[in-house]
Structure 1
């Protein structure tokens, strides 16, 4: 069973938002999974087959977390009851203690729909006397990562130091050539450059080289202050 499950609207969102944290957690012995909700296709330079190959390569760069695609419709992702039920059944199957979902504010309708799906399915997953397959289970926490299509300055709750995992994250992003390399405009920073620079900024705010930001709707309890970055 998984310690943490990252739910991504499309292949590449998990890598953009928290690829470094995934590698770090795996290195610390965590069982981490990624659930892509859709294929991410169609896109201008991609295809279903190409995106599957890119995703497989990116997953290797991330040190091979558990990964699955739920097969929901790209561009038409909605928080329907049927989709909620399918996601709740998956939560019961892999039983993650912690869920990671896209940040709740975004211009991309698939992203905000994914957030609503995760929150609704988390609640449904614990219901008894339901027709959802599996044994009731309630993930303890939802944290939110940033892979947004809005030009906003994130307001995170906490940061994770990914200084030692940055190169693995960038290698995973480069695997998505159809999305993040071949289609980038000339003369301006591309997505990968922007992700790297933003991780440097967030690292600066907590005194490390690179960090990834996360948000939480609920208070976070600490058993100790010994691991705080001071």
Structure 2
């Protein structure tokens, strides 16, 4: 059973948008998993074998005990009933309290489809009597994740106003280390003149850190109001 499950359209999206949150939750003793929806291939410099090696390396850096791939098609990801049932079955199996999904506004169709799929599967995961005639059978016992949070890994030049920003200053280097595992995506064929891809990542994280008075931050959005039992975690 997981405390939190990060759902990523492709391998590397979880690292880009939520590696800081993953590492911070683990520091608190929470069990965190990542579910990649697709292989991420084809890409210009990648292959199935390369991406599998890179994902395994990043998983090791993050210290994840649980990571799986749902095996849905890259570049044509859709929030179909069949895919919804597959994802809901995972929710029922690992029973996460919190879900982390891609931010709902994006230029990449796979990302927006992933967000829709997560929200739909979250609802389906709680349904009973799914074995009756006319219903799509769902494996496992009903389970309803209590919260969905949204991380930013977008292909738009947005100016977000997130619900909150997590201080990731003490895990920033580990986050970058996990992203660097995806060499085929972020090194090979990328410009080497400043500002590089990694310069941009640092600058963005520093911007969010500045917004909360820390070195580095990671923005998170919600659709539902947040409830706080205490204020001790505010910075």
**CA RMSD of superposed structures (Å):** 0.9
SS state of the match for residue 175, structure 2? helix
Q: Which runs of 5+ in 2 are unaligned?
A: 131-136
In 1, Cα distance between equivalents of 2:14 and 2:198: 13
Q: Which residue of 2 aligns with 1:90?
A: 90
The match for 2:148 among 132, 142, 150 is 142
Which residue does the alignment assign to 1:169? Answer: 175
Q: Secondary structure at the match of 1:46?
A: coil
Query: Could you tell me how far 1:65 is from its partner in structure 2?
Result: 3.9
Gaps of 5+ in 1: none
The CA distance in 1 between the partners of 2:208 and 2:174, in whole Å, is 18
User: Can you list the C-alpha shifts for 1:139-176, whole angstroms capped at 9, x where unaligned?
Assistant: 00000000000011121000111000000000001100
Deviation at 1:188, TM superposition (A): 4.3
* TM-score, normalised with respect to structure 1: 0.98
Are the aligned partners of 2:41 and 2:74 in contact in 1 as well (CA < 8 Å)?
A: yes
Number of aligned residues: 229
Query: Do the aligned residues in 1 keep the contact of 2:32 with 2:64 (CA within 8 Å)?
Result: no
With over 3 angstroms needed to count, the CA separation of the structure-2 counterparts of 1:190 and 1:80, relative to structure 1, is: farther
Aligned match of 2:19: 19
Q: Are residues 171 and 151 of structure 1, via their aligned partners in 2, closer, same or farther at CA, if it must alter by over 3 Å?
A: same
State the Cα deviation string for residues 12-35 of structure 1 (Å, max 9, x = none).
Answer: 000000111111111211000000
1:83-130 deviation line (CA, Å, top 9, x unaligned): 000000000000000000000000000000000000000000000011
Give the Å deviation of 1:68: 0.3
